[in-house]
Structure 1
Amino acid sequence: MIRNEYLRFMQVIKDKDAPAGVQKIANIILEHLQEILPLGTAQGRRIQKIIALAQTLWQTTPDKISITVNENNETPNKIVRLKNMSVGPFRGFSKTENFDLDSLLVLIYGPNGTGKSSFCEALEYGLLGSVEEAESKRFTNQENYLKNAFIGRFEPPLITASCENGEAKLLSSNEELFRFSFVEKNRIDNFSRIAAHAPSKQTALISTLFGLDSFNGFVKGFSSEISERHIDLTGKKSLELQDKRKALDVHYKTIQEAHQQLDCLVESETELANQFGQGTSFSNMIVSLGTSSKPGLIKNLEDDLQKPLPRITNLTEKKLTNSINTVGLTIRSINIKNKELIKVSSELSFKQLYSAISSLQGDISDYCPACKTPFAQVTCNPFELAENELAKLAHLSKLELERDELATKLSDAIIAVYDILEIATTEYQNYSGENPLSQYKVSSKSSLDSVWWDQLQAKKNGELLGIQHLYIQVQALEERDIQTKIGIQEREQKQKKLTELRELEKEANKLKTSRELYEITIKKSEKSINDFEQENKKLIEEVEAEAAQVEINNQVSNSYRYLVHALNEYKEELPSRLVADLGDIVINLYNSFNRNDAPRDLLAGIKLPLTSGQQIEISFKNAPEKYYNALHILSEGHIRCIGLAILLAKNIKEHSPFLIFDDPVNAIDDDHRESIRKTLFEDDFFASKQIILTCHGEEFFKDIQNLLGVEKTKKSQCLTFLPQLDERHIRVDFNCQPRNYILAAQSHLENLEIREALSKSRQALETLTKGKVWSYVNKYGDGNLAIKMRSAKSPIELRQLTDQLVTKLKKPAFSNDQKDLVLQPMRALAGINGNSREWRYLNKGTHEESDRAEFDRSTVSIIVESLSQLDDALT
C-alpha cells in the first residue's frame, strides 16, 4: 500500500516535471524504501539514512523517474469476475485449498476465528500485491505476516478471472486497478468515530476510510528539511579562502553575479527553447528559426504566405441543380398554362366580344348594338349578358397573368444558370484550349431565352452537352473552394506561427546579446585576480575539491526539502482526489440504505471534506439549499452509512468488476442491514458486478439468501467456514446447507423429511407474505389489511394474513402484469383446508407429538411448490 501510493506520488511529480534532483532523491527513496520505512524523525534516524544514501548514490542514480504505477495493461472492462482462487500455505491455511468463485455472488459464512479474514487477505494479496493489515502492524516484510505460523511457509495465492471473451486468465497483482474493490469493516468503524476528532482531522479520516493510514504515517516520518548539523552545506576550506579574498570581493562578486546571470540565461534559453519545442536546445532553436546565412522556418513561412490562393467562387453542385430544376419546372409550368389557354381560345374570343359590347353601353342604351333590335323586343339584354359572361370568364385573365409571371420567372432562372456558367468559364482553367462553355456566352443577358437554354442542352456530334460541361466545372470549382477555404485557415495558422517565431527570434537575440556582455564582464574580472589565483593555487584546488561535495550536499538538501513539501501536499490532496465527483452516487446509496426513513430525512446534497478544517455537510430533501454539519445531527449508524456509501460509490465510479465485502455485520448497525441487503442485491447499483461477501452472522447470511430467492441462491456460491478441530488448518464446507427456506424445504421433501419440510415452509411463508407479497400488494393495490390479534404480543396468524392478501389480489381494481403469477400460488396455499394438520402446522407451529397422524406428503408438496412459484414471481 505504502509503496504503491508512493509510486502514484512519484507519477505526480514526474508529470509536474519536478527538478532533476528531486526526481533523483525520489528514486533513491524508492530503491531503499524497505530500509527507510521503519525509521522515523526520532534522533534524526530517517534523515541520516537518506543523507548517507544520497551522498553515496547521487552520481549514479538517474535524475528522471522512469517507473510507472501500473506495469501491466489490464483494464477492469476486460475482466468479468473472479473464477477461482488457490491459496495455501497462507495465514490460517496450512495447506492448499481451491475456491470456486465463478458466480456473480459468493456468500461466505463463518463464526469469528474460522478463517474468513485469511480468505479476504488472500484475495487482497493476490489482487493488490500487499495486505494493509500487515503494514498497519508494521511488518516491513509482508511474508513474515502472511506465512502460516505452524508450518512456517508462504505461497502467493493464484487467482483466475473470467474475461469478456470467455477466456480464463491468471491475474497478477495490480493495486492501481483493484484497490477500490475491497470494503473493509475496520475503515468504516474508524470513520464512524469521526465525531470524536477535531475538525482538522476529519480530512485525514477520509484517507483512513480508503486505507491510507500507513501512508500518512510514512509521510509524517520525514523531517521537513535537512539542517546544517546533519550535512555540510558551506565548506570549511571555502570559508578560509573567503577570508583571504576579502580584498577581491568586488571582482568575485562581479564574477559570481555574472555566472548567476548566465545560469539564469541558461534557464531563460531553455525555457525559450521549450516554447519553441519541448526538449529543443537553444542553439538548435536558433538554427531552426534561421540565420542570415542559412534561412530557416521564418523565411519558409514568409515565402508560403506570399503565394496567392484561388478566388472563392461559392459555386456548388446543389446550387446549380436547384437553378436547373427551377428552369425545367418553370418551362413545364408555362407549357401547361399555354395548353390551358389554347384549350379555352374560343372562350377568349367571346371574352373580347363581351368586352367590346360592354364598352358600347355608355353610347347605346335602348337597342342591341349588333342587330339594332330595340331592347323591348330582344330575348336578353346584350349589355347585361356581356357583364354576366365577363364575370364568368375572369379565370382567363388569371391564366394570362400567371403565364406572364412564369415567363418572368423563367428568364430569372435562366439568368441564374448563366451567372454560374459565366463564373465557371472565368475560373475553370483545366482546359488546354478554350473553355467549351465559352460558346454559350452572350453579349447581353437580356438575350437569354429558352432557345439559349435548349442550345445548352443540345447534343453535338457525340460531345458532352453544355450542361454536362457546366456540371463538371461546377463540381471541380466547388472542390477548389473547399481547398481554398482550408488554405485560408492554414494561412491564418501560418501567420500566427510566423508572429510567434518572430517574437521568439527577438527574445533569442536579446539573450545572445546579454550572454556576450556577461562573458566579457567575467573575463575582465578574471584577469584582475589572476595573480591572486596563482599565489593561492593549492588552497583553491582544495576548495574546488570540497565544492563538488558541497554542491552535491546542497542539491540533496534542496531536493529533499522540495520532495517532502510535495509529498505532504500530495497527502493533503488525497482526500479530494479520492472523493471527487462521488457526491451524487453517495447520496443515492445513502438514501437507499435509509429507504425506510421519513422522506424529510433523506439527503438532497452532501459536501465531503476536501481540505483541512472542512466538515461533512449535508442537506435534506425538504430543504435542499440548507446544509448542516453531518456529525452534529446524524447518529453513529447514519455516519456508518455515509462511510459505506463513499466506499461503494468509489467502487462504482472506478468500474471495478467486483466488490469484496469483509464481514458487513460488524460494519452495519441492525437498523440498516435489511436496506443495505436490498441495495446490494435488489437495486441496480451492483446488478452486473460480482459480489464476494463474508459474514459471521448466520441471520444476516440467512436473510441474504431469502432476499435473493431460490434461483439466485442456486446460482450463487455459498461456503461455510467451520471451527478448527485438532488440525491447524481452516476448515471449509464447500457444500453447506442452504439458508434459503424454500431450498431447504425442497431438500427435506426430497429426503422424505416431511415435518422438517413443513417447518422450513412455515418460515418461507412468513418471510414471503410479511415481506414480498404484502409489499407487492401495497405497491400495486390496496395494502391496508384488517388483522385480528389475540393480544398485543401475539404473532399474526398466517392463515388470516394469507386469506386477506388473496382477497386483495383477487379484486378487479388490482392490476399488474405479474398478478396471475402471484395469485395462483397464493390461491393454492389458501385452498388448503385451514383445519388440516399441515395448515395448522404452518399457521402456529407444532410441538412434539407422538402417535399422531402422518402429514400428507402430496399436500406438503403442493405447499413447497406453491412457495417456489410465489418466490419466482416476486424475485
Structure 2
Amino acid sequence: MKYYFKKFAKQKIQSESDGFVWLLYFVYCSLIDVDLNGGEIWENLKRRIKEFNLDKRTPIRVKNVSAFLLRNLGSDASATFNYQVSKIKTLQVKDFRGFGSQFNGDDKGVCIEFNSNNTIFYGPNGSGKSSLCDALEFKLTGQVRESARRNRRVSEYVKRIGSTSNPSLSISFVNPAIDGEKLTEDEKKYYSQAFIEKNRIQEFSLFGSKDTGIKKEEVLSILIGMDDLSNLVKSFVQPTSFKTNLLSFKRSDIANRIASLNAANVSNTTLKKEHEDSIRIEKAKADKLLLKTDATISDLEAELVKIDEAIKATNADTLSLSTTAIQFHSKQDFETAIQILEGNLQRFDELTSALNDAKTNVSFSNLYTAILELQSTVTDVCPSCDTPLENTTKNPFSKANEELVKLQGIKELEAEFNAHKTLVEQNLKSLEHLHNQLNFNTTKITALTGLIASGTALHTASPEYSLTNRPQIDTTVASIKSQLATISSYFTEVATLHERQSQKQIAINANNAKVSALNDRKRSIESIKTNWENTQTKLDAVNLALGTYTTDLSNLYNEKNIEDNYNSFIELLITSYSNFYTQLQEFKDKEFQTRFGKLESEIAGFYTQINKHDAEHEIVESFKIDNSNSDYKIEFKVKGSSLTEDASIKLSEGHLRSLGLSILLANAKINSLPFIIFDDVVNAIDSDHRANIIEMMVNDTYLNSVQQIVSTHDRLYWERFSLENQRGNFSSYILKCTKQGVVHYHYNLSFRDKIQNALNHFDIRQALLYSRIWFETIAKQYCMENNIELSGTLKKSEFHVSIEPSLGAIYRELFNKLGDNENLKVLHKDEINYKGINQEHHSFDEYNFNFIHSRTSNEVQKIFDAVSGLDDDIQFLKSHQLLLAELLKSQKHSVEKLKTLNTRMPIEIQNGIINRHNEILNQLSEFPARMQNLRIDAALIKSTQEKISKVFLGGLLSALMKSKGIA
C-alpha cells in the first residue's frame, strides 16, 4: 500500500492545503504502524489523530510536515523510477515453510541455481513447489500473498513447522550490482508483478459471478497486482463517517475545568463566611469558659494543661487517703445477736423434743390423710371389715372424725418446727458474719492485731455455725459470750478507727466530685478546640483556593487556547477530508485506467497464442477494460465483427482462465519484467491449451527473452516443456519433500557436477543425497553388467512395484570383487563416512537423511572423493583395454610432437609438449599396477605389461640413437 500512497502523496504534497498535507502525514504514519504492529489503517489513523499533541508543533508545523514527508517520499513528484533489472542467479533457503531446518553448523540451507533462460521444477502435490515460489516472493517482495489469503501473519506463515529457528533466505542476481538484501520498496513492488499464480487465474474465471461475493474491481486488481491500491482506497471511510468520528475527538476537558473552577470560587466565597462565623461562635464559647476576651487556641491548650495537672494532683490525694476499710461492729452487736440466738435455740429445742415425743403418732398422720380420702367415697359397708353400716355398734366414719381433731395438732407442730429452724439458721449466719468481720479486722488492720487473745474462740477463724452439730453451737456461743467482757479495748479501737475512716471517705468523695467537674470542663474545652481547629483548616483551604483562583484561571485559559487549537485542527481535517477522499478515488481510477490502457494492446496477442486452435468465429481481435461508473467490465471483439461483447458473460470458464493468464502476461510485458515466476499455473488451465502455452513460452518474442521459472505437478507438461527447451539453455529440477525438508534433483546433470555445486554453496545435505544416489547407481550398474545376484526388498513407488536391493548386499558384492580397492576401503573403514554413505535399511534415502556424524563439509568432501574414485575404478574395469589403446595412441602422438621441438619454439609450448609426454608415460607405468589392484585377469595384465614394455623399450632405443646421431 505504501507504494501507491507515496505516489499519490508526491503528486499532492506541493499543491494541496494544510489540512490535506496533515492527512497525508497521518496516513503515512498509520501505514508504518500497520507494518510494525498490524491492524487496520483506519483504526491506526483514528488513534494517531486522537492522540496527536498539537502543542508540541511549531507555528510552521505544516512546512515541517511537508519536509518530513518529502524526506521519506522523495522530493520530485514527477520523477520516474529507474530500476536495475536483472535475472535471478541463485536462491538459498533454510527453515522456510517446507525447506528444512538446520542440518549442522556448516549447512546454510538448500541452494537452488536458476538458469538464465528457463528453469522448471516438477513434483507432485506436497513436494515443495509452493514453498519455493513463496520463498522467491518473500525475498523479492517482503510479502506472501497466500498468507493474506489465509488470514495469517507473514511471520507465522513462512516459519517451518516444528522449527525454533527463524527462516534464512538469500538471493543473488545475474547483475552483481543488485543487492538482494537491500531491495527498495519500489523494487519490491515492481518484482511483485512477476508472480503468476493459479489461484489468481482461478479467481478470475469467476469474474462477474455473484456467487463469490467478490467485486469485479477486486478480482482485476488482484490479477494485475494493483490490489494494494484498491485495498488502500477501501481503507478510508466516507466523509460523513469521518466527520462523525473526528467530532467525538474534540476536547472539552479544559472548558469543563474552567466552569468547575468558577463554580468552586462562588462556593468558596460562601464557605468562607460560614467558616468565619463558626470560628466566632467557638471563640465566644472560649472567652466565656476561660473568663477572658480574645481567647486563642493556645489559651485553650494552656487551660487543658492546667486541668490535666489538677486531675493528676487530686487523684494522687485520693490515693493517699485510701486504706483498708475497717469492718465496723460493736460489743452490743455481738450481745444482741447471741441473745436472739439463745432465745430461738431454746424454742428450737422445745419443738424438737415435742416432735420426738410424737414420733409414735407419725403413722396417724398418714391415717388422717387416708381417712380424708375415704370420706369422699360413698359406701354402705365398713371400710375395715365390710360389715353393713346398719349392723355396726358405732359408725366407723363418725369415730374417725372424732379422732382426726386430735391428730391435726401434729401437722401444725411440724410446720412451726420447720419455720423456727429457718430462723435459727439465720441467727447463726448473723453471728458467723460478726465473727468473720472480727477475724478480718484482727488479721488485716495493724492497729487491731493482738487485741484478741490467742487460743480463744474469737481468735480463730469462724467455726461452722450449723444445726447439724447442735452441742457445738452451745459451746461456741458460751465461749464467745464469756470472752466479750475481756475484749472491750478491741471494740473501743474499732469505734475510733471507724470514726476516722468516715472522715477520709468524705474527703475522697470530695476529690471524686472535683475530678468529675474537671473532666467536664476538659471535654468542653476540647470540643471548642476541635471545632475551632477543623473549621480553621477548612477556612485555610478555602482561602488558598480563593488566593490561587486568578492564577489557576489564567493557566486554564492558556490550556483552553491549546484545546481550542486542537478542536480547530479537527475541523480543518474534517473540512479537508472530503477533498482528500475524492482525490484518492480519482487517483485510483486514473491508475487503473492507465494500467488498463497499456494492457489492452498486449492482452489479445497472448490470448490468441493460448487459444490458437479456436474456431474462426471465436478468434478475439481486441480487448478493452472499462472502469467507468465504477463498474469494471472487460469487453472484446471477435475477428470480423464490430460488436463488443462482455467477457464475463460470453466467454466460457476455460476461456476466462486463458484471459486471466493473458492479462498477467501482458502486465509483465508492459512492465518489462526480467523474469516471470509461474506457480503451478498450468493446473488452472485445461489440458487442451497446455501445449499452446508451452509453444507460446518458447516462441513468444517477450517470453523468449525473459527468465521463466516454472513449477508444475503435471508430469506430461514437464516432459513437453523439457522437450521443447532441450535445444536451448534450460534447467530441470525434480522436487521432493522429506522429513528433513524439500530437496531437489538436477535433472540431466552429472552427479559429479551436482555434488561439487552443492559443496560450493555449503548445501551439505544435497551433496550427501547426490553422493548416496551416485554410489548406488554405479554399484547397481556394475552388478547388472557383471550378472551379479543381489538380495533385496519389494518396494512400491509412485508408479510401480520393484525389488530394491539393500546397500548392504551391494556393498558385500563390491567388497568380494574389489576387496583391495582403496576408495571402497575409505567408505568402509572410515566410520564417519561409512555411516554417512552406507547405512543399512536405506537410513539415507530420499525420505530420511540421517547423517548425524557428517558434521562438516570437509568430511562430506571425503565421501565425495571416495565415491568419485570408485566410479573411476569401475569405469576402468569396464574399459581398461580401450583406455590402454587410447593411451598408446596418445603416447605415439606425443613422440611425434617431441620430434618437432626446436629452439625457435616459445619455451611454454616446449614445456607443454614435454610435460604431456611425461604424463602419458606415468599413466602407462601405473597402468599394470592399477589393473592388479582391481583384480583383473593375470593374463590380461601380462599382455598389457608386454605392450607397455615395448613402448618404453622403443623410446629408450630412439633416445640412444638420437644421442649417437643416428637418424
Q: TM-score, normalised by structure 1?
A: 0.45
Which of these two proteins has the greater Rg computed from alpha carbons? 2
More helix per residue: 1 or 2? 2
Q: TM-score, normalised by structure 2?
A: 0.41
